[in-house]
Amino acid sequence: MTGPSDRAQTTQPHLDLQAPPALPAGGLRVMALGGLGEIGGNMAVLEFDGQLLVIDCGVLFPEAEQRGIDLILPDFGVIEHRLGDIAAVVLTHGHEDHIGAIPYLLRLRGDIPLVGSRFTLALVAAKLREHRIDPTMVEVAAGDDHVAGPFHCEFISVSHSIPDALAVAVRTPAGVLVHTGDFKMDQLPLDGVLTDLGTFARLGLEGIDLLLSDSTNAEVPGFVTSERSIGPVLDDVFGRATQRLIVSSFASHVHRIQQVLDCAELHKRKVAFVGRSMVRNMGVARDLGLLRVAPGLMVSLDEAAAMPPEQVVLISTGSQGEPLSALGRMARGEHHQVTIEAGDTVVLASSLVPGNETAVYKVINGLARLGATVVHKETAPVHVSGHAPAGELRTLLNVAKPRYLMPVHGEWRHLRAHAVLAEETGMSGDRVLLAEDGVVIDLVDGKASIVGSVPIGNVYVDGLNVGDVGEESLQARRILGDEGFVALTVVIEPSTRTIVRPVHLSTRGFSDDPAAFDGALHLVEENLKRALGDDEVDPHRLSQVIRRTVGKWVSDTYRRRPMIIPTVLEV
C-alpha cells in the first residue's frame, strides 16, 4: 500500500536523474552539498542571476568503517570553478556540522564574506585563527537585513542548543526561500530567546515559496522538553555525589554548561574545564557575556587535581565517545591529569549522535570498569534535544504555510517522516520535495521542482591530507582492519624460467600461528612452475597467479579474505 510520503517528489525512483539544464532566467536554484540523507555536513547552495549564496558549511563525522578519517567535508568540487560567484556564506549557528568546513572552503577563496550572529562568528574566528586565516565577517542579529549580491536576507531568531541561532529568509525576484537552520520551540529558554513564530507567520502571509526545514526529530512525537528541566536533575546528581563530579557535554552547549556552573556554585564545588574545544568555546561565551561565571568559581585543571575530590567538578569534552577526547582518554586511563577513581560520578549530558552509539557505550563501560557511576540519558533525564519534534514541525508548517517544503538536516527516515507531517497538515504530496545531496531543485514562476542532479561524493580529511583518501583506500583499510594481509615475494630467472629463491611469505593481522600458511606455499610454487613452464614470465601475470592461488586456498581453508600482496622480482 502506498503511504502518504511515497507521493512526495523524490529522487527514488528517479535514479536516472540527469545533469540539470541551464537555470531559466529569473529562476532560483537550490542544491544541497551535505545534510540530506545524513546527520551533519550541512551545506546548501542557492543560485540566482549567476551568483551563489551558501547557507552553512559544516562537517560530517566519520563512522567506524571510515578508518583513520578525522572529518568528512562537503564536496566543493561542484562549485570550485565558481568560487568567484559566491556572494556570501550565511551561517545559521555555531555547531561543527554547520561551520566546521569553513576553513577548508576559505583555503580555496579567502575573502568570501561570512555572515552570522555574534557568537557564531566568534566561534568561527577562533577556529580560523588555528588555521591562520583572517576572514571577512559580517555580524547580524535577529531582525536584521543583509544584502549579498541579488540575495536579500532577513534573519529570524530561533531557539536551539546553542546561543545566537538564526533562521534566514532569502528574497530574490524568483520568490521567498526560508531556511530554518536547526531549531526547536522551547517555551522557557534559559536565555529568553524564543523561536520567533510571529515572523514566520508574517512571512507566511507574505508568501513563502520554498521552506527548507530541520527534520532531525520528525519521527519523535510531541513537543520538546524545556532545557530548564535539566537543572533539577543535575541538582539531584550533585546532591548524591560524594566524590569528584565529571560532566561531559558538547563543547558549544552554553545553556547546559551554565546549569552545571549554577549547580556547582550551589553545592560549593570549584569548576575546571577539560578539553581544548571546551576551554576555547566557553572562553568565547564568557567574553561575550553569554556564560555567567560566579567570582572564584573557576580553577585550572592542575588546581582541581590537587583539591579534595568532593570539592571539584570537571566539565569535559567527549560526550560522543571520541577516542581522542578528554573523556575518552579518562575512560582508558590515559589522561595525564585526570585519573578516574572508584566513587567518581560521570554525567554524559548529551544525546547520542547516530553512528556514535558503540563509541559512547565503550566509554561508559570503560568508566564503569574503573569504578565510576555513570549517569546518561538512558538512566536519567540529563539531556533534552535541540531539534523540533513532530508537534513543533507541524506547528511551523501551519504557521508558515509554505507553498513547497524541502525537508533538510536528516537521514532518509527523518526526511520521509517530515514529508508525512507536511501532508497531515494539508500540504499536497507533490509539493514536498524529497531530495538528497547533489539533487537540484529550481524555483521558477512560483513552482519548485526537481530538475536533475550532479555527482558529488565525500571529501575525507586524514591528518593534514584533504581529499587524498578515497573509497578505494577506505576499502583497503577495512580489509586490512578486518582480515589482515598476506605478503608473498618470489624471485625468478626469466631466461631459464626458474624460481631461484623459495617463496617468502609474511602476514600481519591474520593469525598468530606461524604455520598458518604452510599449506599454501607448496601450492604457490607448483602453480608458478606450471606458469613458467608455459613460457609465462611477465611479473604482473605471475603476481596474479600467486594472488588467485593464495586467495582460493585461504577462502577454502579459513573462509577469510585477507589482502594479498604478491611481489615478483627478476634476476
- From first to last of its 571 residues, the chain has per-residue pLDDT tens of 334 334 444 444 446 789 999 999 999 999 999 999 888 899 999 999 999 999 999 998 766 565 555 678 898 989 999 999 999 999 999 999 999 999 999 999 999 999 999 999 999 999 999 889 999 999 999 999 999 999 999 999 999 999 999 999 999 999 999 999 999 999 999 899 999 999 999 999 999 999 999 999 999 999 999 999 999 999 999 999 999 999 999 888 999 999 999 999 999 999 999 988 899 999 999 999 999 999 999 999 999 999 999 999 999 987 665 666 788 888 888 888 888 999 999 999 887 666 667 778 888 899 999 999 999 888 888 889 999 999 999 999 999 999 999 999 999 999 999 999 999 999 999 999 999 999 999 999 999 999 999 988 877 766 556 655 656 666 655 666 667 778 888 888 887 787 777 788 888 777 767 777 777 887 887 888 888 877 777 888 888 888 888 888 888 888 888 888 888 888 7
Cα–Cα distance for residue pair 97/182, rounded to 1 Å: 11
**Whole-number pLDDT of residue 7:** 41
**Whole-number pLDDT of residue 229:** 93
Under 8 Å CB-to-CB from 165, ≥6 apart: which residues? 92, 93, 117, 157, 158, 159, 181, 182, 183
**Whole-number pLDDT of residue 63:** 61
φ, ψ at 115 (rounded to 5°): -115, 125
**Whole-number pLDDT of residue 13:** 42
Cell numbers linked to 189: 529558554
Cα–Cα distance for residue pair 243/233, rounded to 1 Å: 18
Please check whether residue 167 is in contact with residue 176, taking contact to mean a CB–CB distance below 8 angstroms. Answer: no
Please check whether residue 51 is in contact with residue 151, taking contact to mean a CB–CB distance below 8 angstroms. Answer: yes
Which residue type sits at 206?
E
User: Rounded to 5 degrees, what angle do the CA atoms 501, 504, 509 make?
Assistant: 175
Which residue type sits at 150?
P
Identify each DSSP E strand in 80-165 by its residue range.
Answer: 86-90, 113-116, 136-139, 145-148, 151-157
Nearest alpha-carbon partner for 238 in 258, 219, 264, 209: 264
State the chain's maximal CA–CA distance in angstroms: 88
Under 8 Å CB-to-CB from 179, ≥6 apart: which residues? 44, 55, 92, 167, 168, 170, 212, 408
DSSP-derived pairing of the beta strands 136-139 and 113-116: parallel
**Whole-number pLDDT of residue 135:** 95
**Whole-number pLDDT of residue 251:** 87
Cα–Cα distance for residue pair 126/101, rounded to 1 Å: 14
Ramachandran sector of residue 512 (left: φ over 0; alpha: ψ -120 to 50; beta: rest)? alpha
Same fold, 25-222+385-460 and 471-570: no
| Helix H or strand E segment including 72 | strand 71-73
Cis peptide upstream of residue 13 (ω within 30 degrees of 0): yes
**Whole-number pLDDT of residue 554:** 83
**Whole-number pLDDT of residue 246:** 93
**Whole-number pLDDT of residue 491:** 85
Cα–Cα distance for residue pair 361/377, rounded to 1 Å: 12
**Whole-number pLDDT of residue 15:** 64
Cα–Cα distance for residue pair 422/432, rounded to 1 Å: 8
Which residue's entry shows cell 523561536? 195
Please check whether residue 170 is in contact with residue 210, taking contact to mean a CB–CB distance below 8 angstroms. Answer: no
Cell numbers linked to 158: 530561533
Domain 227-375 CATH superfamily: Metallo-hydrolase/oxidoreductase (3.40.50.10710)
Beta bridge partners of 452: 440
Which residue type sits at 435?
A
Beta bridge partners of 426: none
Which residue's entry shows cell 540575495? 151
Cα–Cα distance for residue pair 42/55, rounded to 1 Å: 8
147 C-beta neighbours (distance < 10 Å), count? 11
Cβ density class 224-248: b for 16+ within 10 Å, e for less = bbbbeebbebbeebbeebebbbbbb
Sorted by where each begins, the domain ranges of the chain are 25-222+385-460, 227-375, 471-570
Cell numbers linked to 64: 567506524
Question: What is the domain class of 471-570 according to CATH?
Answer: alpha beta
Pick the CATH number of 25-222+385-460 from 3.60.15.10, 3.40.50.1100, 3.30.300.30, 3.30.700.30: 3.60.15.10
SS3 169: strand
**Whole-number pLDDT of residue 5:** 38
Please check whether residue 433 is in contact with residue 416, taking contact to mean a CB–CB distance below 8 angstroms. Answer: no
Give 184's DSSP letter: B
User: Rounded to 5 degrees, what angle do the CA atoms 44, 55, 45 make?
Assistant: 35
First to last CA, the chain: 69
**Whole-number pLDDT of residue 408:** 97
